[in-house]
Amino acid sequence: MREDGQIDYVELPGGDLSASKAFYAAAFGWAFTDYGPTYAAFAQGLDGGFQADTGEAAGRPLVILYARDLEAMEAKVRAAGGKVVRPIFAFPGGRRFHFRDPAGNELAVWSEG
């Protein structure tokens, strides 16, 4: 349900739209709705937080996805053509890794414990 003042949408640069769609479909099983030749929408869950540690925050939003099996998801990201830019590491509350998609966007995937 949409509410005033709640984060409702995340929009990422698409680069080569066909390559971006193929990557997210292969790595995460996403489906898309095309709105013309230069825009594809996706529907996924969304929560958020703020990173005040300047050593961690890169001055841009970081979209973080979830995986029950972090190692298996890292393998799927690599197989789909993603480039892991920060291997799996622990943080308070879980573990995660960062990757770049075919358009150069940096995202992360996290898991508990």
pLDDT tens across 32-74, in order?
999 988 889 998 887 777 777 767 656 678 898 999 999 999 9
For the cut 80, the answer to whether the pLDDT of residue 82 exceeds it is yes
pLDDT tens across 88-112, in order?
999 888 999 999 999 999 999 999 9
Helix, strand, coil percent values for the chain (each to nearest 5): 20, 25, 55
Q: Where are the alpha helices (DSSP H) in the chain?
A: 17-28, 70-79
CATH 3.40.50.720 fits 17-111, yes or no: no
Amino acid 102: pLDDT: 95
For the cut 80, the answer to whether the pLDDT of residue 8 exceeds it is no
pTM of the model as a whole: 0.82
Amino acid 32: pLDDT: 93
